[in-house]
Amino acid sequence: MIACYCRVSSRGQKMDSQKAELTRWLTSQGIELTTVQWFEDIETGLTLRRPAFTQLQRAIFDGAITTVVVWKLDRLSRRQHVGITLLADWCERDVRVIVVTQQIDLRGAVGRMVASVLFGLAEIEMEYRHERQTAGIARRCQKPWGVPRTTKRHHQSPAAAGDHPASARINRARNCQCVTGQSTDSLPVSRRDNSVRLPEW
């Protein structure tokens, strides 16, 4: 019997692309989908302790599964030594392993050698991703918690600032007196500002 194994690392990820590729390969090989058993896990590839993978292993040990089809080899394991040991055990049980996207049929010594390289690349990719995440967290921790905002001072008119309009006009007249030395009483009526009187407090 043929088994298709799918795995994602978190619940936020979807298996749709994996299942679509596996289904396309099965159809191209003329394999009836009803004869295929599917195993799906939501778990990290750093461990083999996964519910569906445990069921797959049990079916292989019982001799019910003779072919395992996966989307990529790192779906089985992200550790090189773990993946090689796993494939060696499956090969001893005459289990055929097919990697769809990488177009590899892992049978014989050549297949195991290629699998060793692919498992090594998968482990390097995992370590590199972990290093990038660690560096990103370190950079965020070095940033200050808050940046003070710069406040803009808007120009306020004398009235908005609390000055009485009449006071502003009297002040302008006094400034004229200081500059010209002329009293405001001697200014012509047209130049005086007698129309506005200050309130008596």
Residue 76 falls inside a structural domain: yes
Residue 7 falls inside a structural domain: yes
Tell me the pLDDT tens digit for each residue of 117-141. Answer: 766 666 667 666 666 667 677 677 7
- The whole-angstrom distance between residue 191's C-alpha and the CA centroid of its chain comes to 72
Give the confidence band of 192 by pLDDT, cuts at 50, 70, 90: very low
* CATH code of residue 124: 3.40.50.1390
Domain count, the chain: 1
Neighbours of 24 (CB within 10 A): 11
Residue 161 falls inside a structural domain: no
Residue 108 falls inside a structural domain: yes
Residue 83: closest CA among 52, 33, 120: 120
Report H helices in the chain.
16-28, 51-61, 80-92, 108-142, 165-180
Residue 200 falls inside a structural domain: no
Average pLDDT, the chain: 76
Residue 186 has pLDDT above 70, yes or no: no
Residue 184 falls inside a structural domain: no
Q: What percent of the chain has pLDDT above 90?
A: 36
Residue 193 has pLDDT above 80, yes or no: no
Give the confidence band of 105 by pLDDT, cuts at 50, 70, 90: confident
Strand partners, 98: 69, 105
- The radius of gyration of the chain from alpha carbons, rounded to an integer in Å, stands at 41
Average pLDDT over residues 24-37: 95
Sequence-separated (6 or more) residues with CB below 8 Å from residue 13? 42
Residue 111 falls inside a structural domain: yes
Residue 93 falls inside a structural domain: yes
pLDDT for res 191: 46
- Lowest mean pLDDT, pick from 7-11, 41-45, 82-86, 153-157: 153-157
In angstroms, rounded to a whole number, what is the distance separating the alpha carbons of residues 108 and 125? 26
In angstroms, rounded to a whole number, what is the distance separating the alpha carbons of residues 149 and 157? 25
In angstroms, rounded to a whole number, what is the distance separating the alpha carbons of residues 160 and 30? 85
pLDDT for res 172: 61
Structural domain boundaries, residue 84:
2-141
